Amino acid sequence: MAYQALYRQWRPATFSDMVGQELVVTALRNQVQQGRIAHAYLFTGSRGTGKTSAAKILARAVNCQHPVNGDPCGECESCRRMQGDASFDVLEYDAASNSRVEDMRQILETTQYPPQYGKYKVYIIDEVHMLSDNAFNALLKTLEEPPEHMIFVLATTEPQKVLATILSRCQRYDFGRIPAQKIAGRLRQAVEMEHREATDGALMNIAVAAEGGMRDALSILDMCLGYGEKVDEALVRRVLGTSGREFLFRFSEALIEEDAAAVFSLIDQLMREGREPAVFAREMARHLRAMLMAHYCPGELAELLELTPEDAQSYIGQASGVSDTRLMSMIDLMMSVEPKLRLSSSPRVALETAALHACLRTGEEDTTALRERIETLEKQLAGLREELHSGALTVSPGAARPEKKERAPEVQTPKAAPAPMPKDLQQVWKGAMEIVKRKNPGLFGMLSSGSLMEAADDCFVWGVKDESFFFSLDHVNRPEHREQIEEALSETAGRPCHFTVQLPETQKKATATEADTLRGLRETFGADRVMVQEE
């Protein structure tokens, strides 16, 4: 017998064989039992969750001569014909390759002929969202007045792209991601049927990597079995390589544990498998962000990030071993290195450096800030020296800051001057973030997807580096949220502070905020001569 891929061999033959999707299966089975068959169904859900399998079982069940509890019997003439895929009564179309209206007309023309053997002709249209508008409209005409013997099953991963007029004529069933535990159970059956050996951990790793899709899980298992060895965790890792979520977990584990050797070896593996460092840095930033979210909304994590409960649990587990300030600085490092990786002539070195910074935290933040300050001072010194040499600047005894004097004819001393601004603005920001975190964890979560872009005097500018976090911008930019952040900053600094959000280039010009104006004034007239009075 020719070799058949596992997912074909293991395609469920009855509703009872289907793993997961209990709600959908019960509803369809009841319809068959009670003879209440609809003319049009829409099956939605991510890839490999059983949409096409369910459609095929439905086609067999409605035509079966002796259905058993709504399942096809598998023995009658109709069932036997359909099992061999030799029936003209079930037709499967891939809308991706038959997307034109001409293709659709051809398909629909055949609907006028009655079924050859069974009661119904079943048309399964896969990836139906790929149809052109004209093709949709042609389909709609048939759905408006379907022939008595016709059943359409439309399957799609993207229901939002299907015309509303089509949706309203279909019975809709949503196929959820299959829990990893259930996938692993089915993988165990497959391994036993093949008379092979596999560890539970290995099967669970495959199930998790498949992200809720049975077909992907069986394909990965198939590849593992192809090695002819016992299927254990090491083999699954080899087969999945660096592309699975498991690799991201291993990488973040190395960062958290400050295991520099592991970081180097994982990056080595990444490069040997030809992965793009920039893409990896981006994935890593998202992975770390998921862990940050796990700190604040563990209950809703699965729903927010569309994870299986098991995956969500893995994030929550790993996140419990690391502080959110550390996670934030790791996210920062990964996001700031990503654009550099695209341009760098040695992306590997750049990635290793960023990863090591994320990994070895001892005093790292302090020294970076210090180094930056020393660099600024050195530049200022060099500039002064040059001015001195050229004679542009003269120092007279008794005048500490001669250049100021020329520009300051009169200095108004306010009656109650606010306390001086603390020198370490990063420290003020951190303190304020602690307050926001306590008072409004949701807002803190949003702030964590971006970072402090600029801080000068008492103005703080926050922004996001990645356009996929633009939703946080809107949230943080709400007046009541900006106010909360300003309050926290003022409380930390011991004097009034200003907070503003850095908008993407496109919006920037349209909205100059108060703080932008203030910054401009200060640049023009000098910081000590512009004072803001709160009304």
Question: Which runs of consecutive H residues, i.e. helices, occur in 274-323?
Answer: 277-296, 301-304, 309-319
DSSP for 397-456, please give it. Answer: TT-S-HHHHHH-S-----TTPPPPPPS-HHHHHHHHHHHHHHH-HHHHHHHHTSEEEEEE
Sign of the four-CA dihedral 132, 137, 141, 146? positive
With CB under 5 A as the contact rule, which of the stretches 77-85, 120-128, 142-150, 463-471 interacts with Zn ion? 77-85
Identify which of residues 79 and 190 has a Cβ nearer to Zn ion in the complex. 79
Residue 73 or residue 140: which is nearer to Zn ion going by CB?
73
- Site residues for Zn ion, 476-515, by CB under 5 A, read none
Nearer to Zn ion, 32 or 108 (CB): 32
Nearer to Zn ion, 74 or 241 (CB): 74
d(CA 533, CA 535): 6
C-beta of 68: minimal distance to Zn ion in Å? 8
Please, which residue, 37 or 73, has the CB nearer to Zn ion? 73
Determine contact, residues 320/356, Cβ cutoff 8 Å.
no
Within positions 10 to 69, which residues make up the interface with Zn ion, using CB under 5 A? 64
CB of 76 to Zn ion, least distance (A): 3
Distance CA(403)–CA(398), nearest Å, equals 13
Binding piece for Zn ion, criterion CB under 5 A, among 38-46, 70-78, 376-384, 398-406? 70-78
Q: Which stretch binds Zn ion (CB under 5 A): 74-82, 127-135, 144-152, 505-513?
A: 74-82
CB of 52 to Zn ion, least distance (A): 20
- Closest approach, Cβ 59 to Zn ion, in A, equals 12
Q: Which residues are 175's β-sheet partners? A: 45
Q: Does 73 bind Zn ion (CB under 5 A)?
A: yes
CB 67 within 8 A of CB 30: no
Give 85 or 535: the residue with its C-beta nearer to Zn ion: 85
Minimal distance, residue 50 CB to Zn ion, in Å:
21
Smallest distance from the beta carbon of 78 to Zn ion, in angstroms?
6
String marking each residue 391-420 x if it binds Zn ion according to CB under 5 A: ------------------------------
Neighbours of 289 (CB within 10 A): 23
DSSP H/E element including 248? helix 245-256
- Closest to Zn ion by CB, 66 or 100: 66
CB of 41 to Zn ion, least distance (A): 20
Instruction: Give the number of residues written for the chain.
Output: 535
Nearer residue to Zn ion within complex by CB, 72 or 463: 72
Should residue 263 be labelled a site residue for Zn ion when binding is judged by CB under 5 A?
A: no
Task: List all residues 6 or more positions away from 3 whose beta carbon is below 8 Å from its beta carbon.
Answer: none
Q: Which residue type is seen at 257?
A: E
φ and ψ at residue 367, rounded to 5 degrees: -70, -35
Query: Cα separations (Å) of 205 from 83, 131, 241?
Result: 32, 36, 12
Least Cβ distance, residue 126 to Zn ion (angstroms): 24
Q: Binder to Zn ion among 79, 293, 337, 351 (CB under 5 A)?
A: 79
The whole-angstrom separation of Cα 38 and Cα 153 is: 10
Q: How near is the Cβ of 60 to Zn ion at its closest, in Å?
A: 7
Do residues 455 and 492 touch, judged by C-beta distance below 8 A?
Answer: no
Q: Does residue 76 interact with Zn ion by CB under 5 A?
A: yes
Rank residues 29 and 129 by Cβ distance to Zn ion and give the closer one. 29
Q: Which residues bind Zn ion (CB under 5 A)?
A: 64, 72-73, 76, 79
